[in-house]
Structure 1
Amino acid sequence: MGELLGVAVLGAGHMGADHIRRLDRVVSGARVAAVADPDEARAREAVAGIEGVAVRAEAEAALDAPGVEAVLIASPGPAHEEALLAAFARRLPVLCEKPMVPEPAGALRVLEAEARLGRRLAQVGFMRRYDAEYRRLKAVLDGGGLGRPLMLHCVHRNVSSPPEFTSAMLIDSSVSHEIDAARWLLGQELTAVTVLRPRPSAGAPQGLRDPQFALFETDGGALVDVEVFVNCGFGYQVRCEAVCESGSVRVGDDRGPLVTTEGSAGTRVPQDYLVRFADAYDREVQAWVDATRRGRVTGATAWDGYAASAVAEAGVRALETGARVMVDLAPRPALYA
């Protein structure tokens, strides 16, 4: 590795542009060496003012640009499998935004390709593992002072959904974060899912089943419920409460500065996930850079990415059929034991 880790960022949209800014201005030990986006004008706008960045339309061309030593994938999910396999072929460490690959079959191909290498190269970007509140929640559960966790109650709300958002995406895009967080917090696999559908909100676009209520079962006997509401209208909220045998612990209560003015008092509700989890993204990317420079890979694995996709697929089938659907997981390769 050079003095600064040269990173190729694939994707210069909302998430990619934020990571480009983060690598250039926030994270130490790294630099943006290349950016790839089919919209080259957007890519050039994202790197405006950053010297020495190769801008390419194709992902593989960016991977082959001078000075590239690692890859951050922030392109749309359907492009991830090809990009991950191309990075593996070049033995480049990767931080891949979720979903690792949307479809379990493609995620399994990535998993098997990395297993054949005999070493981990990929980290999946489940940033809640780096959020200060979630890490405190994890520490409490791991400490065992509250006894075994019996239930997780989760809330995931967005101000509004983008035009292309579908009913299935409430599960395989939004709730995928809760899927990984539940697996990580509990140390258990999710084995079955049921999705209930209340009447759609008047604020939801025509035809969108929003909100939804997902119930997951685990192989350790715990239950996880998730209220997902992506057109709540008032803010971005993420909450999680673990109910254990002798107590409970909750995060995400929006206890920011209390402002009193003109006969009212209140706190500001974040409007965007990049605001709510800004610190978590910073810590995640910094940890990835530090580990990569030491020749290590930490954080969520390709197995975690595959498991999330498999659970989400079962959740979408549960949404569409109204039935309880079992999660079908392939055997875990020894690399991820």
Structure 2
Amino acid sequence: MTGRLRVGVIGTGAMGAAHARTLSTSVAEVDLVAVHDLDAERAEALADELGAAASPSPEALVADVDAVVVASPDATHVGLVLAGLAAGRPMLCEKPLALDASGARRVVDAEVAAGRRLVQVGFTRRYDPAFRELKAVIDSGDLGTVRLVHAVHRNATNNTSTDDATLVTGSMIHELDTLPWLLDQPIAAVRVESPVDGPFRDPQLATVRFGSGALASVEVFVNARYGYDVQTEVVGTDGTASLEPRSTVTVRRAGAAGTPVRDDFVAHFADAYRLELAAWARAARAGTVDGPDAWDGYLANVAAEAGVRSLRSGSWEAVVPDERPELYRR
């Protein structure tokens, strides 16, 4: 593609609106031309703000653009991505790719049948400068052999992860992608438990075993109240490396000193979202996929599905994906 990339965004909630604004203001050689949402008034308001059109349907949007960002509710992702694939459109699909492994496998199979990769999955932490720096330290070998990882993922409140399963498939799935990427090795098994009873067990604590035998603890607490907080520590035989909470300001007031904690995940990862969208747009114009693809989305869904089984069984559950298709080995 030699001209500017004409992009449409499906879903204009917090994530979709943020993506649309970033595309229209901060990504080179991209024109945001259309948005769509089931809430037509919300879509029209965002379209007016950004000088785009409000498409009457996802099908109309896909027909009118060169590439698509899918930021609608999780349950709609597979159907929308399959429609985009049928039209030959490059897509950035927000995580998770699907609600379960079979849904993600449908996307993989559609790409394999078409003979080309068009889907990138929105695992934004792979683009975050701090996470990339942490991965560079691991890859350098300075930590020696990685034995343990400790990950924390907390939200002030969360309206999308509302039961045991969606906390794993919609929130913990970030760590189920990020940690294998950081360590460059697959998840072999997972155990997930919670210190609380009830229909929605929040927080949850996962123990993850990797192919090398390394272990990770993953705490996910989506109603922690105090703010949005992501931390990761990697422990090796020769040292440790930590991704620390971010703050640039210390406030001293009323006999105490402290730093503010954001409650907005979009603001927390603003740089990562911009870098992710820019990389996706460049790859889409070149006819390639940069970063996590549909197979990565499938692997994360396989691990999340094992996590949901573990919550129910109380036992370790193996993570056993299908064999990687040749398309994703190139």
Instruction: Say yes or no: TM over 0.5.
Output: yes
* Residue 193 (structure 1) aligns with: 190
Using the TM superposition, give the Cα deviation of residue 2 of structure 1 relative to its aligned residue in structure 2, in angstroms: 5.8
Which of 216, 223, 233 is the matching residue for 2:208? 216
Unaligned runs of at least 5 residues, structure 2 = none
Q: Distance in 1 between matches of 2:2 and 2:21?
A: 20
Give 1:237 deviation, angstroms: 0.4
What stretches of structure 1 of length at least 5 have no aligned partner?
A: 201-205
Counterparts of residues 251-330 of structure 1 (less than 5 Å): 251-330=243-322
8 Å CA contact 2:4–2:31 kept in 1: the answer is yes
Matched, 1:24 2:57: no
* Aligned positions of 1:72-87 closer than 5 A: 72-87=69-84
Does structure 1 residue 11 correspond to structure 2 residue 11? yes
Aligned residues: 329
CA distance in 2, matches of 1:55, 1:135: 36
Partner residue in 2 for 1:203: none
Q: Is the 8 A contact 2:152 2:218 kept in 1?
A: yes
Q: Distance in 2 between matches of 1:126 and 1:177?
A: 7
CA displacement at 1:264 relative to structure 2: 2.0
Indicate whether 1:70 and 2:44 are aligned.
Answer: no
One-letter code aligned to 1:89: A
Looking at structure 2, the residues matched to 22 and 161 of structure 1 have their Cα atoms a distance apart, in angstroms, of: 23
Alpha-carbon distance, 1:255 to partner: 4.0
Which structure shows the higher helix fraction? 2
- Counterpart-to-counterpart distance in 2, 1:137 and 1:266: 25
**Which position in structure 2 is the counterpart of 1:61?**
60
The alpha carbon displacement at 1:171 in A equals 1.2
Separation of aligned partners in 2, 1:254 and 1:61: 41
Distance 1:59 1:231 in 2: 32
Supply the AA of the counterpart residue of 2:14. H
Q: 1:223 and 1:26, CA in 2 relative to 1: closer, same or farther beyond 3 A?
A: same
1:153-192 per-residue CA deviation (whole Å, 9 max, x = no partner) reads: 0001111232871122221111100010011001111121
Q: Hey, what does 1:38 align to over in structure 2?
A: 38
Normalised to the residue count of structure 1, the TM-score between the two structures is: 0.93
Residue 331 in structure 1 maps to residue 326 in structure 2: no
Indicate conservation of the 8 Å contact 1:39/1:57, yes or no. no
2:98 equivalent among 76, 96, 101? 101
Question: Which residue number in structure 1 is paired with residue 219 of structure 2?
Answer: 227
Matched, 1:137 2:134: yes
Asked if the contact 1:254/1:267 (under 8 Å) is kept, the reply is no
**TM-score relative to the length of structure 2:** 0.95
Distance 1:17 1:168 in 2: 26
CA distance in 2, matches of 1:163, 1:5: 31
Q: Sequence identity, in percent?
A: 43
Distance 1:300 1:317, change over 3 A: same
8 Å Cα contact 2:161/2:170 also seen in 1: no
